[in-house]
Amino acid sequence: MGYEIKYSASPKVTKSMRAAIETLQLDHLTILYPGERRIPIAADIEAVGLGNMNGL
């Protein structure tokens, strides 16, 4: 599992995220962003709002 922190209120998948998943052979990547909700971004990427980090 990997983590990436974004300041954007609407995080999106980037080339660097895909490269990190491939290079580090990650099963899942979690994006932490300044929001409240958990948002599935892709099959292996989920955005988790800072207000909803208790489930990590």
Per-residue pLDDT reduced to its tens digit, 1-56: 899 999 988 899 999 999 999 999 999 999 999 988 899 999 999 999 987 776 66
Task: Say how far apart CA 6 and CA 10 lie, in whole Å.
Answer: 9
- Specify the pLDDT at position 43: 95
SS3 content of the chain, % helix, strand, coil (to 5): 25, 35, 40
pLDDT of residue 48: 93
Q: How far apart are CA 44 and CA 34, in angstroms?
A: 20
- Domain around 27: 2-55
Contact 2, 25 (CB under 8 A): no
CB-count exposure of residue 53 (10 Å: 0-12, 13-18, 19+): exposed
How many domains are there within the chain?
1
